[in-house]
Chain A
């Protein structure tokens, strides 16, 4: 997770943005919940408090969903990306999603994509690919460049492939959600008429 925030900050930097990535410094033990933060801006970032109201939340480990209050501070128009093969409904988040913008909520099987393309279930790169598709805050090419800075060539290429696959999936999901939303709106409009 810390590496994901770091790579995201590098991707933003490569687009001439200012970015600040830092981990939450919890218990240093395997298996403990870990958070990392990234701020991206067009000017110097001076703020040093933890991110308490994220515009986007990436959940790397969905087993935390019902253990820790992960969503506190996420605004109604926020983005949420979850590493899972299941949908928001299947994850038991159907009710939670009411009132949120559906095209900004996505799940992506990042661990499975990493297993397929990298050989290990390390979902960072795939989640960043998904992030690029979902928010368009950074370009996929910048995510690739950040991955290539971080890893040796062979591992980097696997991670880039995972990021590309996640990007494609999230883009398709986003389009579907938008279409779904439009259909729903049309239905509503027809009813109202």
Chain B
């Protein structure tokens, strides 16, 4: 049914339609509205046969989800930012044990300095934990991906993170189509666990594995993710058939026909990029955008194919690998060299530009993107760029640090420099 609703609420409704049996909840901005919504649904009886468990921390949230999933219950939780870091050990365990938990990440930066706003640093920090990671471009897709996520997780016996831009999507009210229970039931069969803790048929899960077998177990985790590369497009096609709209898949291309420059991005910023691309196409500039929905597993072959004819690739990243630069672009470069071992496709060198943008909620505007892409088309962009970075403020802080040993905390210095009120007691 079409309705005007908040992204978080739509996600809660779709998770509820997936008939979860255990929901572990610990609040953290900006995902809180999702578990609050689910809590209300359990309390009102709208969502039945579901244990809603308020836990004491994110570590407990994932630990309870692990226990519940191992006991054969469809399990769900959500978190963000420091919450994801706090549950990190259990996040790795859920994947290592092969438990099909679904978790929403309301993407938010990581401190210090503390910052509640959106970027992708949190989920990117867990990119190698063994979870499948899907990034939503719109709220409709965020809602739809959760339905696909449960089926994907359970078919592969792997946990899935659905990454949704905090505030930008979670707190936005938009026109959304919420499916019916019958549609979701038809798409998502009842959970049939591959492994289950059952007193009638005892097994142990999580045994110690020594050097003789550990490599093989880890390889199988990789192998299962590689299988997801086939399954994700299939599920997306099935979903389209049942629900009548496109959601998910490995990657999606927009106006990439005859493009010699392609922008690559994840999440909600793709919408803004599409508007910029339309403006530039009107002027005859051959530029397009590819959004990566499945970041783990990384869709190397699909990207290789779509980038085979381009000259330049611009990766817009809402995260920063401190000390090197890009995370997505690093993976992309590996994908491009993967087949031949030589950078570039079919012997043609592709210029890749890494653009770190939108950290800690810095708005990524059409104006800035347009100026950036114009620079790319003129081949004037450096390989690594920080979009809309205030270079003057940075230079002044570096000067302060040079001029005196006890220059003080950098974050507070920058705030004072910019005239914002620094957190100060007394």
Interface residues of A (CB under 8 A from B): 5-6, 9-10, 13-14, 18-23, 25, 28, 45-50, 52
Contact = CB atoms under 8 A, between A and B. Distances in A.
| Interface residue range, chain B | 20 to 34
Nearest to B369: A49
Interface in B187-245: none
A20 B5 CA distance: 10
Given A21-B173, A22-B167, A47 B117 contact: no
A48 B269 contact: yes
Given A10-B4, A22-B168, A25-B167, A49 B174 contact: no
A23 B172 CA distance: 8
30 contacts: A9-B4, A9-B173, A10-B4, A10-B173, A14-B4, A19-B4, A19-B175, A21-B172, A21-B173, A22-B168, A22-B171, A22-B172, A22-B173, A23-B171, A25-B116, A25-B117, A25-B171, A25-B361, A45-B174, A46-B271, A46-B274, A47-B272, A47-B275, A47-B366, A48-B268, A48-B269, A49-B272, A49-B364, A50-B363, A52-B365
Nearest to A38: B173
A49 B365 contact: yes
Contacts of A25: 30, 116-117, 167, 171, 361
A187 B167 CA distance: 52
B367 to A, nearest CB: 9
Contacts of B175: 13, 18-19
A37 B269 CA distance: 17
Given A9-B4, A47-B272, 14 more contacts: A9-B174, A13-B3, A19-B175, A20-B172, A21-B174, A23-B167, A28-B29, A47-B271, A47-B275, A47-B366, A48-B272, A49-B364, A49-B365, A50-B363
> Which 3 A-B pairs have CB atoms at the shortest separation, nearest pair first?
A46-B271, A13-B4, A21-B173
Contacts of A18: 174-175
A21 B167 CA distance: 11
Contacts of B272: 46-49
